[in-house]
Structure 1
Amino acid sequence: MQNIELLTWLGYLASLVTATSLLMSAPLKLRWLNLAGSTLFAAYGFLIGALPVGFFNSLIIIIDAYYLIHIYKSSSAFKVLLVDSKEKILDLFLSKHSKDIASIFPKYNNMLENCNIVALQVRNMEVIGVVAGNKKDNELEIIVDYTSPQNRDYKPGKFLFTKSSTLKDLGIEKVWAKAHTSAHKKYLLKMGFKENNSDYSINIS
């Protein structure tokens, strides 16, 4: 009886994880959660003797694994374009993602107008993010660093801070930022920023 109850809860857990995966807008998170849900469902199916359920979810595991490998191995073409804060393409991008940006950077509208450095992040010819801040001497204080939900796999940020020569060409040697949310803090640390009280910084080499 106890084993049957445990299997029932395993089925509930598999359903919950799979349903949660469908709420993810970022492909990477969607695939990882779907992989976890399918693994639980496959185990559930085989344990209760429902072989079609077990084999079907095993197939989904293979599909998710294939796409995860593809995501991690893909070599996207990134570019960083310096733009004026009044550029139409910037305005269109900000309008499209205004609510999401405001949830991370509540006062970005007022702050963006005063930034002397504004850059659009481009991935495979599509604008996917914006980075804006104030440059003083050889340092840049980031005011907004936003990437669209579908592209939050850390690659755009890694390109900007460690691979692109854009910041270096501007004479920037150090970048400062503040973490506005726990997710933003995780992002900064993942990019290589070092924590210093309430600020985070990274040296540009």
Structure 2
Amino acid sequence: MSFDWQELVGYVASALVVTSLAMTSVVRLRVISLAGSVTFVAYGLLIDSIPIVITNASIACINVWFLSRELGGRRDLGAVVVPGDSPFLVDFLAKHADEIATFQPEHDPSHPIDFALVLTRDGLPAGVLLGRRDASTLHVTLDYVLRAYRDSRVGRWLYGVGSDVFTDAGFERICTAGGNPQHRSYLEQVGFHQDGDLWAREL
């Protein structure tokens, strides 16, 4: 049996599309789906199938459009201050307790909450931020974003143009523990620097 490399291209395209459906991150789903649709376009050209080319070129354009919306700053992001004992907040933390314990094991849910934010994306809950007040410094005890939105710009928005939610509350500095390597990488991306055992950011 001779090797059919054109058929291999089709298998690769199929594998990419199937893999994209397993992604929990919105951005990763779109990126891998885009790669799959572009590969399918190439496959369609190789086998002279215009319907495959047209269908997957259209899917590629849709993926590019969604990615431009996701990464281009056109999402409606927000942060709402809520009481630390808000029923919604309590339920949200309980629902995601296992994942929070995995990615931010230093978070102690028994500690009192002085400051709490619900992060929103297009009007829907996307994460929470909890902390303790020490004069003009906020000690963040939890900065958690839902897995689907971790590749988007929620964190960059919060510590960038959305940081007035902190300054309006009287904060001038934010400190937090480094957590695991993934969380430390995130902190660096949003402007924190290492300050002894903590990570800090001036507002």
Q: TM-score scaled to structure 2, two decimals?
A: 0.82
Q: Which segments of 5 or more consecutive residues in structure 2 lack a partner in the other structure?
A: none
Segments of structure 1 that go 5 or more residues without pairing to the other structure are none
- After TM superposition, give the deviation of residue 73 of structure 1 in Å: 4.4
Q: CA deviation at 1:195?
A: 4.1
Q: Which contiguous aligned blocks of 4+ residues in structure 1 show a shift greater than 6 angstroms?
A: none
Cα deviation code 1:152-198 (max 9, x no counterpart) = 34432223212231211233222223343443233222212234576
Q: Which residue does the alignment assign to 1:177?
A: 176
Instruction: Note closer, same or farther for the CA distance 1:40–1:77 as it changes in structure 2 (3 Å cut).
Output: closer
Query: What letter is aligned with 2:131?
Result: G
Q: Secondary structure at the match of 2:160?
A: helix
Equivalent position amino acid for 1:63 in 2: I
Question: Aligned residue for 1:53?
Answer: 52
For 2:141 and 2:106, the matched residues in 1 are separated by 10
* Cα distance in 2 for residues equivalent to 1:52 and 1:186: 43
Instruction: Give TM-score, length-normalised by structure 1.
Output: 0.81
Contact 2:104–2:180 under 8 Å retained in 1: no
RMSD (Å) for aligned C-alpha atoms: 2.7
Contact 1:112–1:144 under 8 Å retained in 2: no
Aligned length: 202
Deviations 1:85-144 (A, max 9, x none): 221111121233233323212353x34533322222233433221101223233222221
Say which structure is richer in helix: 1
Distance 1:199 1:19 in 2: 41
Taking the TM superposition and a 5 Å limit, the aligned residue runs for 1:55-204 are 55-73=54-72, 75-106=74-105, 108=107, 110-111=108-109, 113-164=111-162, 165-195=164-194, 199-204=198-203
